[in-house]
Amino acid sequence: MTIKEQLIREIEQAPESSLIRFMQIWQFAKQSSFTAISSEDWEQYQETLFVLQNDDLMKQISRSMATHEERQGYQPSKEEMDEILSF
């Protein structure tokens, strides 16, 4: 039985209440292993990798964290805060 067939069998046999498990990471191993993840998780991982591999972005985040900790960062106006908090 192939890994694909095993996955299909597992999905078909799973009780409806437990199908949420398939949104989480699943690992199957046979000759080689692979990981099945939701498209939402995939997009989040790709965004994280993009940020981590972008030196300029990492430096910007680091500077932003430093100014935040020192309370020297940008202070939005009352109007800007009202707009931000209106969501």
Residue with tokens 């000759």: 31
Strand 26-29 relative to strand 33-36, pairing: antiparallel
In which band, very low, low, confident or very high, does the pLDDT at 30 lie, cut at 50, 70 and 90?
very low
Handedness of CA 64, 68, 71, 74 (dihedral sign): positive
What gap in Å lies between CA 10 and CA 3, rounded to an integer? 10
DSSP string, 15-43: -GGGGGGGGS-EEEESSSEEEE--HHHHH
- 59-75: per-residue pLDDT in tens? 998 999 899 889 888 88
